[in-house]
Amino acid sequence: MPDPRRILGIGGSPRPRGNTDILLDRILEGAVDAGADVERVHLRDYTIEACTGCERCRKDLTCSRFLDGMHLLYPELEKAQGVVIGSPTYNYNVTSMTKSFIDRLYPYYTFPSKRPGGYSSRLAGEERRALVFSVCEQEDIREMGFAIEAIAMPFEALGYRITERFPVTGIFERGAVKQHDDIMDAAYEVGRRFGGELI
């Protein structure tokens, strides 16, 4: 069972010290102040191969096609009750590294012998929760496209309850979000609420 006080923060931006990193730090700061224990990872620091659909994981219950950074991240994900995951918006969606990370969570699904068919998740039934966020350059929320749901829907399918969706628009230059006290305060508050829910 996962640690009910533990949150894994996952940054999906290739740009160090950018707005996604800053918001992740601020959200986790709020969670820590609520009493949670946090671990922070940035996907850019890991080599994560794209899923090839080889289906070996159906039998092996882990990815046996590649031995890469995901094998460092699987145990971190498993032991955390909560996940905070964010990505900048790239072409109405998440970054490629965020997508590869999500696709490589496929080993947690179980399927019937006959395909196509239903599926279940080995992470379900453990009261796992997730907070998802994205940062978009344009002011119009429609320009964020599918980014938030591209994260939220797979985690819901894995058995997580999405307790917070936090879209941030109109931010582009590296570090610019620090100049917006309202956004920084809101990020802290969503993190504090999220951390408090897990305790």
pLDDT tens, N- to C-terminus, the chain (199 residues): 898 899 999 999 999 999 999 999 999 999 999 999 999 999 999 999 999 999 999 899 999 999 999 999 999 999 999 999 999 999 999 999 999 999 999 999 998 888 788 899 999 999 999 999 999 999 999 999 999 999 999 999 999 999 999 999 999 999 999 999 999 999 999 999 999 988 6
Q: Where are the domains of the chain?
A: 3-198
- H/E element, 194: helix 181-198
CA nearest neighbour of 127 among 158, 170, 167, 169: 158
Both tokens of 59, joined, read 């039998």
Do the beta carbons of residue 101 and residue 55 sit within 8 Å?
A: no
Query: Strand (E) positions, 68-128?
Result: 80-88, 109-110, 120-121
Q: What fold does the segment set 3-198 form as a domain? A: Rossmann fold (3.40.50)
